[in-house]
Structure 1
Amino acid sequence: MTSETTLWHASAREEFGAGPLTRDMTVDLAVVGGGFTGCSAALEAARTGATVCLLEAEAIGHGGSGRNVGLVNAGLWLPPEALTAQMGQDAGLHLIHTLAGAPAQVFNLIAREGIDCEATCDGTLHLAHSAAGLRDVQDRHRQGVALGAPLQVLDAAETQRRVGSDRFCGALFDPRAGTIQPLSYVRGLARAAVAAGAALHTHSPVSALSRKGGDWVLSSQGHTVRARKVLMATNAYHLGLSDPFQPQFVPVNFCQFATAPLPDALRATILPQGEGCWDTALVMSSLRMDQAGRLILGGIGNGAGPVGGVHHAWAQRKLATLFPALKGQALHHGWSGRIAMTSDHIPKIVAFGPDALACFGYSGRGIGPGTVFGMQAAHALLTGDMESLPVRPVARHDERFTSTRALWYETGAGLIHATAARFST
């Protein structure tokens, strides 16, 4: 395995090139961050006729958007009743119904803009790794169908047929969801935003942001962008800038490993219907197949960190446990990304100043929520309609003990991966 060779860079069909900021600009909307949120916001704003400048410190999709698993899910990790208990009934239901339609919005954008990103609408499987996990997915099913979600509980036999492994007790199938090649998707959003009239600049970190004369002024590469409105869309990859705003979250690492394209005979038995999967284990794992037939396994932990070898060895054992025919299968790609986790696992929108919003904290659900939050944040900033946002903006969001909690996640994942799949899944 080549260290930190991102499969998505190797297989991306969409290309996007943009240079650094080279001149001063005055625009309606300035966006900081070139991931799902930032690029969907830039596209939405430009399509309404607004002038837009997006500044990305690295390349488009450098952060979590280019390292994502690629599952286009409906909703959050939290089941509906937990969400409404934390947010209140009206606010919780508003977010639930907004994100229920997120996969459709993603796939509609892909179709409208002709984004070549291996989009498949075959659904997802939430795999029950134990009897307790099966009770969990059954309860999620009960809560979801009560709100109109077209969910199905699959028994162990049907789950085995769909996955190609006998290691699960059942699964929750969501036909609204699907998979994409995430880097191609975000590059396609960027391409579409430029075609709509937005100016996108990469390798242009924002070194200063201040309010002057009723506008926001951003400094980058020795130039300034003056904007009526500003959207901070850096999520887990916020760099440097702390005044007037820096998002607070717990950074959680997630690593992924991919095989070479599997032989046709194996490919026909492993995830034959193409669903993306994740399981109910305390330290969650994900599974999916790309269009070339590469099997991709993900799990909590930093594959490039001090215990990266532990995660790599776990991935090989895990694949052999789930699919004995893959014992000894080489892993040709391995990479890691950061998740912005919030204490309540609910995304945040912070109104950190006049005509300024920041969206972050998707807690591992970046594609659907990131796209929807970006589009709606752009609309809210340009129209002043804050009521339609997925969550109510707050003046600030604080997280405590972020470093300690991040270490706890990383240490726990390392310990579990050091022993997991030696004896069981």
Structure 2
Amino acid sequence: MKNDRRSHGLWEATAPPAPVTPPLQADQAVDVAIVGAGYTGLSAALHLAEGGARVAVLEAEEIGYGGSGRNVGLVNAGMWVMPAELSAVLGETYGARLLDILGNAPDLVFELIRRHAIDCQATRTGTLHCAVGRAGLKEITERARQWSALKAPVHLLDAEATRAKTGTDAYTGALLDLRAGTIQPLAYARGLARAAMKAGAAIHTASPVTAAHDRQSHWELGTQTGAVVRARWVIVASNAYSHQDGPWASLRTELVRLPYFNMATAPLTPALRERILPERQGAWDTRQVLSSFRYDDAGRLVFGSVGALSGAGLRIHTQWGRRALAQLYPALKDIPFEHEWYGTIGMTTDALPRLHRAARNTVSFSGYNGRGIAPGTVLGRELARLVLGAKTEDDLPLPVTPIQRAPWRRTRECCYEVGARLVHGMDAR
């Protein structure tokens, strides 16, 4: 996108075309204006339109331009934190609600894909959280214990079973989560947009919101195109890609932006695919600077980790990727990478998302901490239910909290990238 081959890489090269979504040219009056065409905004638009609301989505760039079009494509249940930690952080009521709704969130993703015939390479054979060393095995063992206590369909695999699932002996075990799966993330975002438009929502890309005025009876959103949208409700769904000079720039200040890159090999031969991830699970490991890997439909292995493919990081991370993949799978040492791309993840201080009421009738969910697909989809639906009157704020899975600037945000962002460069500069040699 924007003539940058490292913005969306393989996903842009293989996704079905986006629906036609011209910039906003004329003033509109709607029930709900949604800012951002990622998973949260598009899910909210779809569910609102299906509920009879008049909806306009305003996107500064293109559908799926942010993390929704750049991520690994793992549809996971829950968050990064251990299940038991949710109640410790949020209290029993909200902790139980969030566990339930996020534990079942992949069901909604795959149901929407089925119901709206979204062409996004959906595969639901689970995901593998792969343990590195004794510490990693201890972590996934505890995670398996906590999810099993909640009757989740998870299975703790030993080293031998993990080797059979992954095709490598690099791991001491793995947690197989059968709720989960993989998708082509940009294709899914475009499919959600198409479904929302079919239900009656209007989507306008290249239409950044530059001003927001509360007229008491409605909100008035001014756009860079000069046209205005008047709406009773506003849903802000721009997350880590919120504009620094936009009306809701404060949302970005509470998120520490973590860079993450992916590289995709040439399609592997059928013989290699029978040995490496033969059941097509998506996988990631327990390292602090983690690695992830999964297939696309053509048999390309998508391999990623923390870091930005820019400046000195481009050489460091791509060279590491070549070494690390060959270390995991020696048979791939001469297989070239065909695509490389990266984006940013919005991290919160406690690794949990946030619900904000930014102003009167103005709400947002943000801060998915690298788990945007299923949480973004299901929390977008929850915002739609709030606006439609099917739920109150007190019924939502997170409490309303004020926007708080992340401490040492820019320093931490610099440390993420510098730290990833140092690790990747030395690792897998």
Structures share a fold, TM > 0.5?
A: yes
Identity level (%): 47
SS of the equivalent of 2:19 reads: coil
Q: Give the Cα separation in 2 of the matches to 1:157 and 1:82.
A: 30
SS at match of 1:368: helix
Structure 1 residue aligned with 2:369: 363
SS in 2 for 1:165: coil
Does residue 391 of the first structure (1) align with residue 398 of the second (2)? yes
Deviates more, 1:72-81 or 1:395-404: 395-404
CA distance in 1, matches of 2:117, 2:41: 19
Q: Distance in 1 between matches of 2:26 and 2:304?
A: 42
Q: Say whether the 8 Å CA contact 1:256–1:299 is kept in structure 2.
A: yes
Cα offset for 1:5? 6.0
Matching residue of 2:241: 237
1:144 aligned onto 2:156: no
**Paired letter, 2:80:** W
8 Å Cα contact 1:33-1:232 kept in structure 2:
yes
CA distance in 2, matches of 1:142, 1:85: 17
2:408 equivalent in structure 1:
401
In 2: Cα distance, 1:143 partner to 1:170 partner? 17
Letter in 2 for 1:237: Y
Distance (Å, rounded) in 1 between the aligned partners of 2:332 and 2:54: 52
1:57 is aligned to 2:60? yes
Q: Which amino acid aligns with 1:175?
A: L
> What amino acid is the match of 1:377?
L
**Aligned residue number for residue 343 of structure 2:** 337
Q: Secondary structure at the match of 1:268?
A: helix
Question: Which of 378, 384, 387 is 1:378 aligned to?
Answer: 384
Per-residue CA deviation, residues 12-50 of structure 1 (Å, 9 max, x unaligned), is: 135322100011011110000000011001001000010
Match in the other structure for 2:72: 69
Instruction: Call closer, same or farther: CA 1:314–1:77 in 2, change over 3 Å.
Output: same
For the pair 1:410 / 2:417, whether they are aligned, the reply is yes
Deviation at 1:376, TM superposition (A): 0.5
Please give the residue correspondences for 1:202-241 in structure 2 after superposition, counting only pairs within 5 Å.
Answer: 202-220=205-223, 221-241=225-245
Counterparts of 1:59 and 1:291, CA distance in 2: 24
Q: Which amino acid aligns with 1:30?
A: A
CA distance in 2, matches of 1:278, 1:388: 33
Deviation at 1:93, TM superposition (A): 1.4
Alignment check: 8 A CA contact 1:41 1:375 kept: yes
Given the two structures, how large is their TM-score scaled by the length of structure 2?
0.96
Of 353, 359, 367 in structure 2, the residue corresponding to residue 347 of structure 1 is 353
CA drift of 1:359 comes to 1.3
Tell me how far apart the structure 2 counterparts of residues 263 and 240 of structure 1 sit (CA, whole Å): 45
User: 2 CA distance for matches of 1:6 and 1:283?
Assistant: 22
Counterpart Cα distance in 1 of 2:258 and 2:32: 30
Match of 1:284 in 2: 290
Q: 2: CA distance between counterparts of 1:15 and 1:405?
A: 35
Mapped to 2, the partners of 1:5 and 1:239 lie a distance apart of: 19
8 A Cα contact 1:120 1:179, kept in partner: yes
2:30 maps to 1:27: yes
The answer as to whether partners of 1:7 and 1:258 remain within 8 angstroms in 2 is yes
Hey, what's the Cα distance between the residues in 1 that align with 2:19 and 2:358?
A: 31
- 1:114 is aligned to 117
Which of 322, 325, 329 is matched with 1:316 structurally? 322
* 1:265 CA displacement: 1.0
* Shift in Å, 1:228: 0.3
1:41 maps to 2:44:
yes
Match of 2:82 in 1: 79
Give the alignment of 1:289-308 within 5 angstroms: 289-308=295-314
Q: How many residues align?
A: 421
Matching residue within 74, 82, 102 for 1:99: 102
Sort the Cα spacing of 1:283 and 1:109 in 2 relative to 1 into closer, same or farther, 3 A: same
After TM superposition, the score normalised by the length of structure 1 is 0.97
Unaligned runs of 5+ in 1: none
Measured in 2, the distance between the counterparts of 1:301 and 1:244 equals: 27
Q: CA separation in 2, counterparts of 1:242 and 1:205?
A: 8
**Counterpart check, 1:176 vs 2:183:** no
* Structure 1 stretches of 4+ moved >4 Å: 2-5
**Paired amino acid for 1:132:** A
Shift of 1:328: 2.5
Distance 2:193 2:246 in 1: 26
